[in-house]
Structure 1
Amino acid sequence: MLELYNGPLDVDVIFSKWRKWADVKNYGAYITFVGTVREEDGIEALSFDVYEPILNSWFNEWQERAKKKGAYLKMAHSVGDVPVHTSSYMAAVFSPKRRVALEMIEEFVEDFKARAPIWKYDVIEGKRVYARDRSTKISGSGILKI
């Protein structure tokens, strides 16, 4: 399940919802990753734009990988502004056994950083500035040449 939220994530509410879901499904292990906006370089917040069609496709590929291992993925991400010390990203892997969940969460989070179509901006003095130095070019993106 992929969830997008406007503004910062309510980590407690999302985690509680996911935990209750895992209990009903009888998963023995679930590993959660939470990304929080750090105060650095004078930013007030980060701001995110998301291209949902490609994000959904990318996430569905990962869900199929997880399914083959008997696991399930959940992810929540912010759209728009997320102030410092609040969360913009949560991911979790649910599995009957811990080893699958432990291995998959690392792979998933790293691939998310490299391939998810989410663009990050610094918010400084109320203005969005593209965070080029902390962004990763998505493979295959760019201007088409004919």
Structure 2
Amino acid sequence: LEEQKNNFGAFIPFIGIVRAENGIDGLSFDIYKPILQKWFDGWVEKAKRQGAIVKFAHSIGDVPIHQSSYISAVLSPKRRVALNLIDEFVEDFKANAPIWKYDIVEGKRVYAEDRSQPILGSGILV
């Protein structure tokens, strides 16, 4: 196991769950993997500089309410490093990861533009 090999003392996961709000039946997600990989590579390097590892997985397609759409975790020799990194990672993911979100309302995908961010240099939402 990675935590044994690296003698990690902290493993801190975060799981995001689709909330029942605004009359939605769920959320749907599109991901452009090359842009997401570039974003994530920056986090891998940041974690590595602190002796830590960051991991995540995100759903593609439809996710009903009360189900998980996202999981991330930080492994680190020290808990404070892991606690700080998971907080920063989750917040940056929410604000900057290139994942397009749609509400599912009455079986139809409705783009959640009000909860979307432009991706600099991509030509998307500029």
- Please report the TM-score for the alignment, with normalisation by the length of structure 1: 0.79
- Residue 31 to residue 98, structure 1, CA distance change in 2 (3 Å): same
- Per-residue Cα deviation, 1:81-115 (whole angstroms, up to 9, x for no partner): 00000010111010000010011111111111121
1:48 is aligned to: 29
Amino acid at match of 1:114: A
1:23-62 to 2 correspondence within 5 Å? 23=4, 25-62=6-43
2-structure distance, mates of 1:93, 1:63? 10
Structure 1 residue 74 corresponds to structure 2 residue 55: yes
2:116 is aligned to: 135
**Matched residue SS, 1:100:** helix
Identity across matched positions, percent = 65
* Equivalent of residue 94 in structure 1, options 69, 75, 80: 75
Amino acid at match of 2:60: V
Please list every run of 5 or more consecutive structure 1 residues that lacks an aligned counterpart in the other structure: 1-19
**Matched residue SS, 1:110:** helix
Please list every run of 5 or more consecutive structure 2 residues that lacks an aligned counterpart in the other structure: none
- Per-residue Cα deviation, 1:22-45 (whole angstroms, up to 9, x for no partner): 345431001111110000111111
1-structure distance, mates of 2:90, 2:119? 15
1-structure distance, mates of 2:55, 2:122? 26
Structure 1 residue 106 corresponds to structure 2 residue 59: no
Aligned-residue CA RMSD (Å): 1.5
Q: How many residues align?
A: 124
1-structure distance, mates of 2:98, 2:121? 12
2-structure distance, mates of 1:113, 1:140? 19
Distance apart, 1:139 and its partner CA: 2.8
2-structure distance, mates of 1:122, 1:78? 14
